[in-house]
Amino acid sequence: QEMVFRRHIEAGRVAFVNYGEDYGKVCVIVDIVDSHRVLVDGPTTSFPRVVYPIKRLTLTSLKLSLCRGARSSTVKKAADKFGLQAKWDETTFSKKFALRARRANLTDLERFQVMVSRKNKAFKVRQLAKKIAKK
């Protein structure tokens, strides 16, 4: 029988903040306070060691090998050894955040160029679909 959940709340689990002023920041679960809150630490980002509600965290498939209640320096060493930043940059979550940041900083001309290229792509797809449908 296969388990339903694959990402569990445990010490060493890498997560990111999905709501609030720290949106998108990467953190590592260090300890479990209760069923609604966890102690997190951000070794690679400017995220302080705080108790954070689980509802505001999205778990990733990345996991560091840590003991419960590990100190900040231990978390940082484990993250460096694991290559956390490089592995985080490869995830789809990270790529989506980068794309959103890129789109948010576009100039008016760049937004116009994106619109034109999307229209051209849609036109070519329609033409190709019409050509296939005739066959």
Q: Is 73's pLDDT higher than 80?
A: yes
pLDDT at 1 over 70: no
Q: Tell me: pLDDT of 72 over 70.
A: yes
CA distance 14 to 36: 17
Residues 47/53, Cβ–Cβ less than 8 Å: no
Q: What is the DSSP letter of 9?
A: -
Q: What is the pLDDT of residues 10-23, one digit of tens each?
A: 999 999 999 999 99
Q: How far apart are CA 51 and CA 35, in angstroms?
A: 12
pLDDT greater than 80 at residue 2: no
| Residue found under tokens 């797809």 | 125
Distance, CA of 45 to chain centre: 13
Residues 6+ apart with CB under 8 A from 29: 9, 10, 11, 12, 13, 14, 15, 38, 39, 40, 57
Given pLDDT bands bounded at 50, 70 and 90, which one contains residue 30?
very high
Mean pLDDT of 28-51: 93
